[in-house]
A = this chain, B = another copy of it.
């Protein structure tokens, strides 16, 4: 499992590790623990391996240990003893937990643990079962392959999270995600110590949770794609088993058209309503002026609290444009009568009413930026999709906050970009007291352009790098080292059942109609999807758009992005044929040239790949420029007059939209061309 670093260089033929010669042996943990001290020796994993819980145990701890044993068995193909001892005698791994912790996982629950491995035994100590679950995740990642078998290196780890709210939002409204997708996502979250599953359950495009009080919500608003209450409860239990909270979101008063299909009386407009198929801001909104709306919400929220025990409940509150309110004379009259100056004030009124309902049901309110209004008390939590500045303002205003904007996965940014965006940057103007109001961060996976086949590849492995940002000390920020470990954790996540790696070849086989997809796979290795916004502008995707084209097959931030950057920078620091990066870059761009005819042929054979043809045509041209630039710079020769200008123009042309995919190596290639003397 632990030789994975070699695999990061599938395209480039050179390992990242090889660039950092003489470095000490490094661990593959992600997130990195707060404190780690290597000691001498190692503890082999043998058939006699025996776990014991001599201090405390409960069913949840036993199940967590059983999962770890199953994972260790799968990794090593070796059967292990599955009975858990209750005394310390003879145990190879002692799991010493002080107590069960909170019955419902809570914000701020102690997640700390220590892990001490010696040549003869391992000891995992934690105050709570959740802490032990975090330590078991570390233990699994720590196992290493040796020439003779598997073993843990001797080590002392003392670990705890930097932030207590480390979330992942999945939008199941715009596209439904079946239960197995949610389950494997929770498995992956636990592996990288994320602890909040933010379940975006309702949208204009679909209402995804069964209400027995209001059955038409799903009967008419979901296309039959929703979670039964039994399924949702099972998900909550599944998450709890992994020390993960489930925060449900019911987005109101906007983003709510699917509610109105079954219950038009909730809406501000006359109706009737249908499920929305396209995307963007919706005019339809709940009517905040009728008491019947609050009666409905009171009963609905009460019902939902029987499914979702978490202390927090998300009411959305974003992107309500007020149009349907202004178009309704009764609502306009209400605003006048209640001295509500604008629709923002009306939404604040609505939020105050909803807040009271949440308080009645013992829930703390979370909402997006727009809920922020002086009229609201300070115990509302603001989730910022507008960015760090909005979060700063809300903290300065005394509100607790969660940062999301730098962690929007649909922007198709690199793991590096997400990784380097801290929740509270070093230059933040917030006081120490105000910083206490920042609960943590949330990764957002919005659902416009994904489905159950593609979602894993959009979330993983990038979310693992963000999970480290949320958990580990701010000083853990070496990008090269992050990518080295990300390649390892990516393979580990696949073995948990995630499809982020396998999906690409499955999809390419579907496109090619062939088992031999090497040419398309090569093109995939040097391209990535454009951002959500750019794809939307070019394709105007809707909920009904088939998501089986090339852009859906390929992954954001494939290894070639970081490797081309790293190798080019390494090379440009001291250009010359003796620089090891020179050979790697030449070899890669020559491969691009060699593969181009086959890529071109493969693309032309498939009607729906017509849009990608420009990329297939650009590939050899760009490779030719790169190889020329490498020659000029390596030998210190001058390029012919005009070569540089023309090459840069070609690069710029390759940045123009085509096939809703983009090359991964254009930025370092530009630097390379810029470095050519003329």
Contacts and interface: CB of A to CB of B under 8 A. Distances in A.
Interface in A1-56: 1-4, 6-10
Interface string A418-441: 000000000000000000000000
B145 A606 contact: yes
Given A77-B608, A501-B509, A607-B148, A10 B515 contact: yes
A79 B544 contact: yes
A545 interface: yes
A10 B510 contact: no
Contact of A491 (B73, B513, B606): B513
A491 B516 contact: no
A607 B1 CA distance: 11
B4 A513 contact: yes
A121 interface: no
Nearest to A511: B77
B149 A516 contact: no
A3 B180 CA distance: 32
A657 to B, nearest CB: 17
A478 interface: no
A546 interface: yes
A263 interface: no
A1 B9 CA distance: 31
A78 interface: yes
Contact of A607 (B149, B180, B499, B607): B149
A502 interface: yes
A505 interface: yes
A525 to B, nearest CB: 11
A559 B506 CA distance: 18
A494 B510 contact: yes
A514 B76 contact: no
Given A76-B607, A82-B544, A607-B76, A7 B515 contact: yes
A150 B607 contact: yes
Interface string A359-386: 0000000000000000000000000000
Given A10-B515, A502-B505, A510 B1 contact: yes
Nearest to A544: B79
Contacts of A487: 515
7 closest Cβ pairs, A-B complex:
A7-B515, A7-B514, A77-B608, A3-B513, A73-B546, A1-B513, A77-B549
19 contacts: A3-B513, A6-B514, A7-B514, A7-B516, A8-B515, A9-B516, A10-B515, A10-B516, A74-B510, A74-B546, A75-B510, A75-B548, A77-B546, A77-B548, A491-B510, A491-B513, A494-B506, A494-B509, A505-B505
Interface of A: 1-4, 6-10, 73-79, 82, 145-146, 148-150, 178, 180, 230, 453, 487-488, 491, 494-495, 497, 499, 501-502, 505-506, 509-510, 512-516, 544-546, 548-549, 605-608
